[in-house]
Each structure stands twice: as structure tokens, then as C-alpha cells.
Structure 1
């Protein structure tokens, strides 16, 4: 089964830390490459049917099995992250023994969830610096940090 549709160009993968990276939707060959580079966990935060030609959650599950990856589906709408979403994301991160890759349409939701899952370990400024270098803005989630900024 090939999931490398012609409309997908090479995906920009942003390595936020040595253990965590984000991107927009991947092709199967990019997923294979990530697995070869030590990624053992894949987190999909993109709801099904966001756009035409999008790979479904079920197909991602199949691909994850093919490449021996743990797979988590935590669909979120951009800018709307519940405590449950953050807790599920954090739990998925903790289950990885190697590297984690998370994706959505552009990588923004994945990066926001990572920041929110790590707000008890890193300051807002540190998280913002880690994400800004890759072009991700945390302004939309700044209120979720309360007075920790």
C-alpha cells in the first residue's frame, strides 16, 4: 500500500529536541525514514477528514504497525486543547523509549501539545524559544500557562 500521493511534497520535519520532532502530514517513505532514524512512537493530532486526500487514522494505524511504531491518535482542533488532550499527549510521550514524532497539517498543533505537555518541566520562555526557532508561535496557547510566563 502506497500512501505517497503526488500532492504531498517533501515534508519539513522540525526536530524540537533530540527525542521529539513534528511535521505536517508525512508520506509513507518519510515515515519509513523516521523509523530508520530511531523514531518508535507516532502521534497523529490531525482529525480525520480535515481535507480531501488526507490519510485516515485507520491507515496511519496500519502504517505504524508496518514500521513497528507505537501509534496514538489524539485529534484536536487548532487552538482548542483540552486538559484531556494534553494529558493523553503527555502519556504518549512517556510511553516512548526512543524518539517521538507528532504530526498534524503544519506541525503547529503537535508543537503546541508538546509545549503544554512539558510546561511543568520547562518555562514558557524556554518552550517558546524551542518552538520559535522552527517557526511555531505559542501566542495562541499563552493563556494556558497562566502566570508561569
Structure 2
């Protein structure tokens, strides 16, 4: 069974989109989701949503990072402003794709920003 098939069968409680066999994107996650992310087979998480973008009810990156690390994940915070993606953002995302333990789950508000970062990074690699 491929990683993509495993995720589709075992990780359906949290919406996500597989972009490849080693990268998927999701909408906003919280600290309480990190154990399930690890249980689903992910090894790394990229947080692309800036803190407080959605107001004070949005989970903070520091809380998610702590929970992710406690679950055994590598978690990085790479805030990217929606609609204002830069080449520097793309380059950093590409570096994460090349260096973080796979499989990787990236998330933002809806997953779209992460998808754009992934597509742009793939075009420049």
C-alpha cells in the first residue's frame, strides 16, 4: 500500500490533500491533532499560517510545535501571508521539502497556500 493510500484510508478524520507520496496539505490543525498526525505516519509538519491571522481563537504555532515535538514530529514554523507569497518563501519551503524527514504535512488556513508553495517549489527545483 502506498503512503497516499494509507493516508486516505487511515487519516480521513482530518481533511487533507496528498500532493505526492511524501507531501500532503491540510487546513488549520491544532495541538490536539499532532498525535493523530504522527499516528497517520507523518514525520514532519510545516506551519504556513501566521499566528493570529484568524484572530485570537486560532491555535498558536508555539503550542502546535510543542505538541508535535512531544508526539515525535519535526515541526517548523514558516509563516506566509496569504496572497503575498515571495520567492524567499518558496525557497525556504523547497529547502524544507528537501531536508525535513518525510512524509511531510503542511498546513495553513485551508491548505491552498501550502499547495501554491509546493507547486512553486517544484517548478524551481
| Coarse TM-score class (shorter-chain normalised) | 0.7 to 0.9
Deviation string, structure 1 residues 56-113 (Cα, Å, up to 9, x no partner): 1111110121111111111111121111111111111111332000000000101110
Once residues 42 and 97 of structure 1 are traced to their aligned partners in structure 2, the CA distance between those partners, rounded to angstroms, is 9
> What is the TM-score normalised by the length of structure 2?
0.81
1:115 and 2:119 equivalent? yes
Q: Which residues of structure 2 form unaligned runs of 5+?
A: 1-12
Q: Which runs of 4+ in 1 moved over 4 A?
A: none
> Aligned Cα RMSD in Å?
1.6
2:62 to 58, 73, 77: 58
Deviation string, structure 1 residues 31-65 (Cα, Å, up to 9, x no partner): 32221222111000000011231111111110121
Report if the CA contact (8 A) 2:31-2:67 is conserved.
Answer: yes
Q: How many residue pairs were aligned?
A: 112
Q: Which residues of structure 1 form unaligned runs of 5+?
A: 1-9, 122-149
> What is the TM-score normalised by the length of structure 1?
0.69
Structure showing greater radius of gyration is 1
